[in-house]
Amino acid sequence: MRDTPDLSGGLQTPSLPDAAPRGAMCTDCGLSRMAIAPRCGTACQFTVPDFERRQAAVHGDAPEDDPWFGPRLSMHRARMRAPKPGAQWTGITTSLAARMLETGEVTAVLTLAPHPDDPFRPVPAIVTDPAEMAQVRGMRMGYAPLLALLEPAVAQGHRRIAVIGIPCQVHALRAIEAELGLDRLLVIGTPCSDNTTTENFHAFLARLTDRPDDVTYLEFRADYRVEMRFRDGARRLIPFLKLPLSDLPDDFWPLTCRTCTDYSNRLADVTVGYMAGDGDQWVIARNADGAAMLRALGDEIVLEPPASKGDRTRAVQGFVENTRRAAGGLPLRRMPGWLRPIVAWLQPKVGPKGVEFARARLEMKAAEAVLHLRRAAPHRMRHMIPDHVWRLAAPYGITAAPGERGPAAPSPEGPAPDATATPPR
Ligand SMILES: Cc1cc2nc3c(=O)[nH]c(=O)nc-3n(C[C@H](O)[C@H](O)[C@H](O)COP(=O)(O)OP(=O)(O)OC[C@H]3O[C@@H](n4cnc5c(N)ncnc54)[C@H](O)[C@@H]3O)c2cc1C
């Protein structure tokens, strides 16, 4: 059993069962710790992804759908009018969940709290008091068995639950949703890219600063800079081009996260990120539940049409070329030292912005998933790469070789459910 940290404020962090032995493609979403652990074999985003079937079951016929952002009713640039202290951005994610508790739509929120000794280490937490959502604000790097909270939450009598999750957690959650016996499930998703273990993340921090233990916040911003905040209130911006990314060991990012095919969290009711926000946040309401959650914030949330500027093509082409070289074991084409500060200065001014920036990142991630899987686990490609990823990578000359592209893994669950356990949306 994991030690139960003593988080003040009454938010619960129940002791959860140990994980079953897991394969290399596991991010410990928590399913392997549940009584229905055998469902890992039919629910996992990495081994049995099934986006088309699950999207149809959860979102129905969405009026808009594309390979970049997935099914949706609307997409907005967004921010909380009064940003929440301690939030990763302005706190839309935790505000949505708090509002669902306040209005009685749900009685519990399952999410990840910071460990008392390490703000970057995620700890699964059940929140029942809207005021306690303040304690879980902010982003942590690492994996934590979020879904294993479902059992204690249901045992406590909760039948209306909201879950805040990253894409691999949400894919598995959707697969088991109908078996949970819930009256209502609301899913607030964030995008996720390049997650790694909390230990690896600390090693990364140590490469960025000589006082890594003082770092309280880190974000890869849409203006091509990493922002770091420190305990003493100091703030530092590092241009992406100056990050020591190419010096990191090859196994720094687990193969799962390197080859993840669901950057934008396509199965959430609402996705809250920042990539297309051009300095603000960015929300995608994917179905009626997602739209109703956003509406419930009233005028506390500012929603605007997303901006888009620039042309992503050359940036993505350059990234793809370097990823090809790295995947083929060739040295990366490094920019001469004297040119870096100039390009780092130019990038935020002339690089793609808003929706164009988000499209660039999604295409880069798609290309990376295909190229790394082709190198590290080619036998997985046929089932692991969904159609939307092939479509994003194709304009950059990345197409399936014979045997690499096939149908989604056959699902032992049978045909798509007509409806989930929750009432019709
Ligand atoms: C590893 C990782 C990578 C991300 N990469 C991107 C990206 O490339 N592009 C993008 O647009 N957005 C990304 N996000 C999401 C982004 O960082 C913000 O979380 C999101 O914009 C919400 O901001 P907020 O102020 O609304 O969140 P807040 O209101 O501060 O709430 C954040 C919520 O996220 C939960 N959370 C924190 N860490 C984790 C974790 N490790 N796993 C699961 N849940 C967690 C918290 O418990 C809390 O409920 C990433 C998130 C993670 C965890």
pLDDT tens readout for residues 297-307: 999 999 999 99
DSSP bridge partners of 291: none
At residue 311, does pLDDT exceed 80? Answer: yes
Residue 60: partners with Cβ closer than 8 Å, 6 or more residues away: 287, 425
Of all protein residues, the one whose alpha carbon is nearest to atom 40 of ligand 1 is: 140
- Ligand 1 nearest-atom number relative to CA 95: 29
Q: Which residue has the higher pLDDT, 246 or 75?
A: 75
pLDDT tens digits, 100-142: 999 999 999 999 999 999 999 999 999 999 999 999 999 999 9
Q: What residues flank ligand 1, with Cβ below 6 Å?
A: 87-94, 111-112, 122, 136-142, 164-166, 190-193, 195, 272-275, 281
Question: Would you give the distance in Å from CA 221 to the centre of its chain?
Answer: 15
pLDDT at 20: 74
Q: Are 335 and 291 in contact (CB under 8 A)?
A: no
Of all protein residues, the one whose alpha carbon is nearest to atom 24 of ligand 1 is: 91
User: How far is the C-alpha of 37 from the C-alpha of 355, rounded, in Å?
Assistant: 39
What average pLDDT does this structure show over 402-421?
Answer: 58
Of all protein residues, the one whose alpha carbon is nearest to atom 50 of ligand 1 is: 192
pLDDT band at 2 (very low <50, low <70, confident <90, very high): very low
Closest by Cα among 321, 401, 298 to 368? 321
CA dist 48 → 25, 41, 44, 261 (Å): 11, 7, 5, 12
Which of 3-12, 23-32, 331-340 comes out lowest in average pLDDT?
3-12
Of all protein residues, the one whose alpha carbon is nearest to atom 20 of ligand 1 is: 273
**Interval between CA 409 and ligand 1 midpoint (Å):** 29
At residue 417, does pLDDT exceed 60? Answer: no
- Ligand 1 nearest-atom number relative to CA 146: 43
- Ligand 1 nearest-atom number relative to CA 138: 30
pLDDT tens digits, 344-403: 777 877 789 999 999 999 999 999 999 999 999 999 999 999 999 999 999 999 999 999
pLDDT at 4: 43
Q: Are 106 and 186 in contact (CB under 8 A)?
A: yes
CB atoms within 10 A of CB 239: 17
At residue 425, does pLDDT exceed 80? Answer: no
Residues written for the chain: 425
Our CA angle for 389, 390, 393, nearest 5°, is 85
**Interval between CA 89 and ligand 1 midpoint (Å):** 9
DSSP bridge partners of 237: 227
Of all protein residues, the one whose alpha carbon is nearest to atom 5 of ligand 1 is: 192
Residue 212, both tokens: 């890594």
**Interval between CA 164 and ligand 1 midpoint (Å):** 9
Where helices occur in 226-312 by DSSP H, the ranges are 255-258, 288-296
- Ligand 1 nearest-atom number relative to CA 93: 26
**Interval between CA 404 and ligand 1 midpoint (Å):** 32
pLDDT at 419: 33
pLDDT at 347: 80
The best mutation among 7, 28, 127, 190 to test binding of ligand 1, ranked by most ligand atoms within 8 Å of the C-beta, falls on 190
Which of 143-157, 167-181, 245-259, 373-387 comes out lowest in average pLDDT?
245-259
Q: Give Dmax (Cα) for the chain.
A: 62
Q: How does the average pLDDT of the chain come out, rounded?
A: 90
Closest by Cα among 315, 313, 319 to 370? 319
Give the predicted TM-score (pTM) of the model: 0.93
Token pair 């995608």: residue: 284
Helix (H, G, I), strand (E, B) or coil at 142: coil
pLDDT at 248: 84
Q: Is 402 left (phi over 0), alpha (psi -120 to 50) or beta?
A: beta
- Ligand 1 nearest-atom number relative to CA 276: 11
The best mutation among 81, 88, 300 to test binding of ligand 1, ranked by most ligand atoms within 8 Å of the C-beta, falls on 88
Helix (H, G, I), strand (E, B) or coil at 185: strand
Question: Would you give the distance in Å from CA 48 to the centre of its chain?
Answer: 18
- Ligand 1 nearest-atom number relative to CA 111: 47
**Interval between CA 107 and ligand 1 midpoint (Å):** 22
What average pLDDT does this structure show over 308-316?
Answer: 94
Token pair 């799962």: residue: 256
What average pLDDT does this structure show over 76-84?
Answer: 98
At residue 8, does pLDDT exceed 50? Answer: no
